[in-house]
Structure 1
């Protein structure tokens, strides 16, 4: 942590531009660049890349860019520019794909229940478009129906998946480096700290205790892809400069 390396500097610049310029020009690029559910009319394959450069607020981009600099710099210095760039986009895109697969599984589970209740595909599409349904016929909980609607409409944004990949790679490369959180300022070795963070995301992702609109499975997906690539590279000493 320290030196601002070339690739990370340019990634931060692009992210900041993508965050500030649309606000200055009062442009909403969400429907074009954020990652939408595949059945949503706004979905585009390119969004698996572009959503990495979109952020939902100041603190969202601040923490992501800090993580990119703090944990990505040692990796770029160790791997080189091309290798780091490949890793970053692999983790970010992989996070988006895994996030989509989990959402698709959850969406289809509720969809199949609605079909079992006798709701037609046309009626289901109307529910997704309006958010309204007949509670006398549809006996699913309000929470399930709200989730169904949200899965279809809520896009994902942010570099968090790629950052989680970087965190895991950092932990593999520097397992004894001491890390701490602002709200838990007790230094813990990376080899313990990072698995605890991922375990927390998994817990929040599969339970009702999630705080805020956080794409936990995108974090987990980025961490998984990051682990596989970093572990393979370390095992095989694969270097690209």
Structure 2
């Protein structure tokens, strides 16, 4: 890929600095900068952006930063710094929006089931805010409903993956016939085939709850980033945006 482009370089630096700080300060960083459910007392408005620079471990940041470099570099060279940054953060914000919207659905679904069983809404929120729950809740609603209810409130989202999925979509639409050489595949695969399959697997995992990638993955954030990336690419292509509008 040659020399690092400006936006990629600075995004890499900021992500690494956040990762180092998280390694030092741990839970305090997750409390301040992860994206919490809006009804959670840890939620703050800046988390809509700051969560994009937080990661849950070394492999998490390694794969995200590799994808940012590998797929983002040709896009920044094609678009320029400002348009690339606009796209990147827009996809990340779209991912946060979809992820939070799905969590609202899960939270309200579980809350409604428990309230209809005669429990008080404020009492329920006090219980889960304290990190507790009652095993009896699983006798009131299906396990998946209660699990999603608890997870939506208590599990924060971290990572650049939503923005990265937007980048993947943009790369696939801009360079559809580029052949990708992947560690887990013995043969090269074109971007126009690999990226839709990857997004399809996330959609399958998000809907069914069965993840082939492992647990603790915000599948709907990935889908949100991909969706917003597609919408922006479609709009820009339709309107033939002049890249010079983004140059300062």
| Normalised TM-score (structure 1) | 0.94
2:176 alignment counterpart: 175
CA deviation string 1:41-62 (max 9, x = no partner): 0111111100000000000000
For structure 2, the residue ranges without an aligned partner over 5 or more in a row are none
Equivalent residues in 2 for 1:158-173, closer than 5 Å: 158-173=159-174
2:230 pairs with 1:227: yes
Partner of 2:117: 117
CA pair 17-114 structure 1, distance change in 2 beyond 3 A = same
Bigger drift between 30-39 and 225-234 goes to: 225-234
Quickly say closer, same or farther: Cα 1:31–1:174, change in 2 above 3 A: same
Match of 1:20 in 2: 20
Count of paired positions:
241
CA RMSD of aligned residues (A): 1.8
Q: Runs (4+) of structure 1 moved beyond 4 Å?
A: none
Say if 2:34 and 2:50, in contact at 8 Å, map to a contact too: yes
Cα distance change of structure 1 residues 89 and 136 upon mapping to structure 2, 3 Å threshold: closer
The answer to whether the 8 Å contact 1:3/1:73 transfers is no
Q: Which residue of 1 aligns with 2:100?
A: 100
For 1:199, the equivalent position in structure 2 comes to: 200
Summarize the Cα distance change of 1:23–1:145 in structure 2 as closer, same or farther, 3 Å threshold. same
Given the superposition, is the C-alpha separation of residues 144 and 27 from structure 1 closer, same or farther in structure 2, using an over 3 Å criterion?
A: closer
Q: Distance in 2 between matches of 1:214 and 1:182?
A: 21
CA positional deviation for 1:28: 2.5
User: How far did 1:126 drift?
Assistant: 3.5
Q: Distance in 2 between matches of 1:154 and 1:136?
A: 19
Q: Distance in 2 between matches of 1:235 and 1:185?
A: 37
Quickly say closer, same or farther: Cα 1:138–1:59, change in 2 above 3 A: same
Give the TM-score normalised by the residue count of structure 2. Answer: 0.91
Alignment of structure 1 residues 1-16 onto 2, 5 Å: 1-16=1-16
Taking the aligned partners of 1:63 and 1:137, their CA distance within structure 2 comes to 37
Q: In structure 2, do the counterparts of structure 1 residues 27 and 132 end up closer, same or farther at CA, with 3 Å as the change threshold?
A: closer
Give the CA deviation at 1:132.
Answer: 2.6
Unaligned runs of 5+ residues in structure 1 are none
